[in-house]
């Protein structure tokens, strides 16, 4: 279909998931992501899948554990307080190596906070999947179109690495309406798509289907015997390392001649991009790095600058009080100054805020030269 359809980010997540072969969804209502389960409730039955409104976020994520263990592409979604409740379950998913997708349409905290957009759950999402030495792959779309498209990638990565994938959106992205083209993504083999070239049909041999004609399968994360858990952890760490090597994704704009690089993801990247364009009209050389994978963080693009000899300023822009900025600093390893601008709790950094900050930073730089 080549027609563009106007929809919210939340609906685009749901539609993308269904088109990517998701056949199990469980969730518990929380604003600002309620359009997502509503879309699932309406459209999942037609896709031949299962929708369940669970009794809590905890139950929902554990339902995803069950459906995924049974071999079905499955997902849940929530917003910040609900994601906190899911964290134990996400850690179990990582420990049992069950592919799954978890969407966090972030709202402002701490506590109940409010329903305004925010990016304050970056640490929670990127540092570990929950308790224990585990990781989610974390993706951050910045438009409604990308929210649709990224679901294919999310389920493919989940299956490829047998790992939970978290998508970090925010209330603005979830609620905003934009036209979406349902691009004809080639369905991956794991999603029931055709096996082409040297791809072999990927059946989930580990899934619980009943032990007919094979040895029993067990989905578990419990390893009591001395040494066993350490063995699992070493395997997991190898996997995480492979993901870090292969799966970094980012969008880079005007990086070659920039003297200041804005860094932002999701909604903030859009605002930063607009600010960048206006600044460039005034002849400021501004670039932008928009991380698409937040874990693995796209370190390599920063490392490239960290080894060159051009002086650059980096400015991280977030709807938080400074979380992603830590990864920027880690990636640059002290080579360049990293500045930060951010708000959270209802406020959103505006184009004007960014422009003023950039001009301030560049004039200080000039004075010091």
Partner 1 sequence: MNKSFVRPKSLVDVSTHYCPGCGHGIAHRLVAEVVDELDIREKVIGVTPIGCAVVAYDYWDFDCSEAAHGRALAVATAIKRVRPENIVFTYQGDGDLAAIGTNETIHAANRGENLTVVFINNAIYGMTGGQMAPTTLLKQKTATTPLGREIKYHGYPLKISEMLAVLQGVKYIERVSLQSPQAVLNAKKALKHAFENQINNVGFSLVEILSPCPTYWGMSPRQAMDWVRDVMSKEFPVGRIK
CA contacts within 13 A on the Cβ side of 320 = 22
Total site size for partner 1, rule CB under 8 A: 40
User: Residue holding tokens 């001009």?
Assistant: 359
d(CA 297, CA 153): 16
Beta carbons of 21 and 155 less than 8 angstroms apart: yes
CA contacts within 13 A on the Cβ side of 131 = 5
Selected binder of partner 1 within 5, 47, 70, 362 (CB under 8 A): 70
First and final C-alpha spacing in the chain? 56
CB of 157 vs partner 1, minimal distance in Å: 21
Tokens representing 150?
A: 């990224």
Residue 86 touches partner 1, criterion: CB under 8 A: no
Which part of the chain contacts partner 1 (CB under 8 A), choosing from 60-68, 254-262, 275-283, 358-366? Answer: 60-68
For partner 1, the closer of residues 67 and 105 by Cβ is 67
Selected binder of partner 1 within 14, 17, 20, 67 (CB under 8 A): 67
Residue 227 touches partner 1, criterion: CB under 8 A: no
For partner 1, the closer of residues 106 and 191 by Cβ is 191
For partner 1, the closer of residues 86 and 273 by Cβ is 86
Q: Is 189 exposed, middle or buried (0-12, 13-18, 19+ CB in 10 A)?
A: middle
d(CA 28, CA 76): 9
CB of 192 vs partner 1, minimal distance in Å: 14
Which part of the chain contacts partner 1 (CB under 8 A), choosing from 69-77, 180-188, 319-327, 335-343? Answer: 69-77
Buried b (16+ CB within 10 A) or exposed e, 264-274: bbbbbbbbbbe
Residue 63 touches partner 1, criterion: CB under 8 A: yes
Site for partner 1 in 196-225 (CB under 8 A): 208-213, 216-222, 224
Residue 96 touches partner 1, criterion: CB under 8 A: yes
Partners of residue 167 on adjacent β-strands: 103, 139
For partner 1, the closer of residues 220 and 238 by Cβ is 220
Tokens representing 149?
A: 């498209």
Which part of the chain contacts partner 1 (CB under 8 A), choosing from 48-56, 109-117, 323-331, 344-352? Answer: 48-56
Q: What binding mask, one character per residue, do residues 13-32 give for partner 1 by CB under 8 A, x or -?
A: ----------xx-x------
190 vs 20, 159, 181, CA distance in Å?
10, 7, 23
- Give me the torsion for CA of 269, 309, 339, 320, rounded to 10°: 40
DSSP letters for 322-333: SSHHHHHHHHHT
CB of 209 vs partner 1, minimal distance in Å: 7
CB of 221 vs partner 1, minimal distance in Å: 6
CB of 210 vs partner 1, minimal distance in Å: 4
**Residue 213 phi, psi (nearest 5):** 75, 10
Selected binder of partner 1 within 12, 54, 108, 328 (CB under 8 A): 54
For partner 1, the closer of residues 62 and 145 by Cβ is 62
For partner 1, the closer of residues 63 and 294 by Cβ is 63
Judging by DSSP bridges, how do beta strands 177-181 and 4-8 pair with one another?
antiparallel
Nearest alpha carbon to residue 335 among 311, 358, 359, 317? 311
Applying CB under 8 A, the residues found at the interface with partner 1 are 23-24, 26, 50, 52, 54-56, 58-60, 62-67, 69-72, 74, 88-89, 92, 96, 208-213, 216-222, 224
């Amino acid at each position: 279909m080549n027609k563009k359809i106007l929809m919210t980010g939340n609906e685009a997540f749901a539609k993308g998931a269904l088109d990517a072969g998701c056949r199990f969804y469980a969730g518990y209502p929380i604003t600002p992501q309620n359009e997502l389960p509503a879309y699932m409730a309406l459209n999942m039955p037609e896709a031949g899948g299962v929708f369940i409104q669970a009794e809590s976020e905890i139950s929902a994520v554990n339902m995803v554990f069950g459906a995924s263990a049974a071999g079905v592409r499955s997902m849940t979604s929530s917003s910040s307080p609900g994601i906190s409740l899911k964290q134990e379950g996400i850690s179990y998913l990582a420990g049992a190596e069950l592919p799954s997708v978890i969407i966090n349409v972030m709202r402002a905290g701490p506590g109940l906070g409010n329903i305004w957009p925010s990016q304050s759950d970056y640490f929670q999402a990127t540092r570990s999947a929950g308790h224990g030495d585990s990781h989610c792959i974390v993706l951050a779309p910045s438009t409604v179109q990308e929210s649709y498209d990224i679901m294919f990638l999310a389920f493919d990565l989940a299956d490829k690495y047998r790992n939970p994938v978290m998508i970090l959106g925010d209330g603005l992205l979830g609620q905003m309406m934009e036209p979406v083209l349902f691009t004809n993504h080639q369905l991956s083999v794991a999603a029931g798509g055709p096996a082409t070239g040297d791809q072999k049909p990927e059946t989930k041999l580990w899934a619980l289907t009943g032990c007919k004609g094979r040895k029993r399968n067990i989905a578990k994360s419990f390893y009591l015997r001395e040494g066993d858990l350490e063995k699992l952890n070493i395997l997991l760490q190898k996997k995480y390392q492979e993901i870090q090597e292969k799966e970094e994704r980012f969008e880079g704009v005007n990086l070659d001649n920039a003297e200041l690089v804005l860094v932002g993801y999701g909604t903030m990247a859009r605002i930063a991009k607009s600010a960048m364009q206006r600044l460039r009209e005034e002849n400021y050389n501004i670039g932008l790095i928009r991380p698409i994978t937040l874990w693995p963080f796209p370190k390599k693009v920063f490392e490239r600058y960290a080894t060159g000899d051009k002086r650059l300023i980096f400015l991280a822009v977030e709807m938080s009080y400074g979380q992603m900025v830590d990864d920027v600093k880690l990636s640059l390893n002290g080579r360049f100054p990293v500045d930060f601008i951010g708000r959270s709790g209802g406020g959103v950094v505006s184009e004007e805020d960014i422009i003023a900050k950039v001009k301030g930073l560049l004039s200080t730089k000039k004075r010091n030269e």
